[in-house]
Amino acid sequence: MKTVIIKYNAGNVQSVMYALDRIGASYLLTDDEAEIRSADKVIFPGVGEASTAMAYLRERGLDRVIPSLKQPVLGTCVGMQLLCRYSEEGDTTCMGVFDVDVRRFPATPGFKVPHMGWNGLTELKGPLTEGLPDNAYVYFVHSYCADVCPETTAVCNYVRPFSAMLQKENFYAAQFHAEISGNIGQRILENFLKIDL
């Protein structure tokens, strides 16, 4: 099985590579369109700021490649946000795979932004959550989040309920860092690699 990690200026690729190494999965880190299209699975990680990341993807034509992929694609953190319709961060038009907007957490007494640390997942559904206990804890670092919508497959409640995971057809996404979320994150990555369309 050929797994590709998309290489771009917002990728937290080292931790994703380590996580795949831990589960014995081979992978290729690339921004080459032909390599990406020929992969069995594609991982689209991300840390950083949405508008800068989208500009970089547009420069390389990856903003049209990624939404057109037919194999299973997993976007994480900023990768998930860039798969949404729009982000308030930098007033950014994103790729629109998921028909939902990404908004900043509102200032709320008793809650720090960015949301940083371990938090539970509820309302789990879909193949990525197979075998996870309700309220499974995963690691978040973010100031922006996607609203709950029909494509939501897991919810987290911090300041307000938001989409911790999304799925639409062959596109899967997680707001948290699965690659550093211990056994739960490992199970999510293993579940992704097992998906057979």
By annotation, the residues acting in catalysis are 77, 177, 179
Distance of CA 143 to CAs 15, 101, 125, Å? Answer: 20, 14, 24
Other CB atoms within 10 A of residue 52 CB: 15
